[in-house]
Amino acid sequence: MQLVIKNLSKTYPNGVQALNNVSLTINQGMFGLLGPNGAGKSSLMRTIATLQEADSGTIQMGDINVLVEKDEVRKALGYLPQEFGVYPKVDAETLLDHLAVLKGISRRSERKEVVKALLQKTNLYDARKKNLGGYSGGMKQRFGIAQALLANPKLIIVDEPTAGLDPVERNRFLNLLSEIGENTIVILSTHIVDDVKELCSDMAIINKGEVLYQGSPADALNDIQGKIWEKRASKAELETLRTTHTVISEKLVAGAPVVHVLAELAPGDGFEPVTGDLEDVYFSYIFGPVVRASSPSLSPE
């Protein structure tokens, strides 16, 4: 099954254009949607999840017209939004059972087996009788995935799922997502580059409501090799470098600024070549202009 988005646009009443002619084709597996806060990622996710209307365009999920057949979409969808609430005085097993009823799992015996399996899958079974108000942030995220997996969805959307998690919970959560992605379409919307690097075989970069890139992380990495240059700079040099070079990132290493620039040829000025990573790809598209490859898929629309 594919999720095919064509020419999708959305402008809010305050005049903000959240989506501008977005087109994406998403296959089974883990798909990473990268972009900074405010890029339009959540607007796209909410539109796919039938939580808001689009102004124009189409979304097709297999034989389902997403923008028209909303009830059919919801039957096939698992959704974990960036922020979701839980009943703090209800235990995980009871709430998951209640949500299973709402998902149409009416037989008690079937619900019992489904709830047990999902709590085990998300490593929450031993804490099933604990009130959700006492769960850690990572445990709540895993509960969110458990409810998203009810009724075997064909499409799962997770929006900024690892924000705020500690390293242990983040790794546990990413491993869970990777396992889920073997059998369904999983859209991982995030601004954390490492999440996409570790999980996704296909990705898109979106900013200001527009798709700047869609393709595999490997292809994107190949495109920037030989074009990323690094230099330790003094703080006094930074302003000049920003005006004379395409600076895509700056970070402090041992208290000194380290600058990455994007250039086809050696820029001089003490810059040394470095192996580009997915973070460099991301910054190249967000803060570019990108050095364009011969492949049209790597050129911004």
186 shares a domain with 253? no
102 shares a domain with 29? yes
pLDDT score recorded for residue 113 = 96
* 166 is a domain residue: yes
180 shares a domain with 86? yes
Q: What is the CATH number of the domain that holds 139?
A: 3.40.50.300
**Which range of residues forms the domain containing residue 226?**
221-290
* 296 is a domain residue: no
User: Among 215, 246, 278, where does a domain finish?
Assistant: 215
Q: What is the dihedral of CA 215, 218, 273, 190, to 10 degrees?
A: 60
> SS3 for the chain, per residue?
CCEEEEEEEEECCCCCEEEEEEEEEECCEEEEEECCCCCCHHHHHHHHCCCCCCCEEEEEECCEECCCCHHHHHHCEEEECCCCCCCCCCEHHHHHHHHHHHCCCCCHHHHHHHHHHHHHHCCCHHHCCCEHHHCCHHHHHHHHHHHHCCCCCCEEEEECCCCCCCHHHHHHHHHHHHHHCCCCEEEEEECCHHHHHHHCCEEEEEECCEEEEEECHHHHHHHHCCCEEEEECCHHHHHHHHHHCCEEEEEEECCEEEEEEECCCCCCCCCEECCCCHHHHHHHHHHCCCCCCCCHHHCCC
* 301 is a domain residue: no
User: Among 215, 240, 258, where does a domain finish?
Assistant: 215
229 shares a domain with 210? no
pLDDT score recorded for residue 134 = 95
pLDDT tens for the chain, residues 1 to 301: 899 999 999 999 999 999 999 999 999 999 999 999 889 999 999 999 999 999 999 999 999 999 999 999 999 999 998 878 889 999 999 999 999 999 889 999 999 999 999 999 899 999 999 999 999 988 998 999 999 999 889 999 998 888 778 888 888 888 888 888 877 999 999 888 988 988 899 999 999 999 999 999 999 999 999 999 999 988 888 888 988 999 999 988 887 889 999 999 999 889 999 999 999 999 999 987 654 443 333 333 3
Question: Tokens representing 111?
Answer: 């619900």
* 109 is a domain residue: yes
34 shares a domain with 68? yes
272 shares a domain with 126? no
Supply the pTM of this predicted model: 0.86
Report helix angle 92-102 to 108-121, nearest 10.
Answer: 120
87 shares a domain with 31? yes
pLDDT score recorded for residue 177 = 84
User: Among 170, 193, 215, where does a domain finish?
Assistant: 215
Side chain identity, residue 239 = E
* 297 is a domain residue: no
* 151 is a domain residue: yes
Domain count, the chain: 2
226 shares a domain with 93? no
159 shares a domain with 247? no
* 236 is a domain residue: yes
113 shares a domain with 22? yes
125 shares a domain with 269? no
* 275 is a domain residue: yes
99 shares a domain with 58? yes
pLDDT score recorded for residue 296 = 34
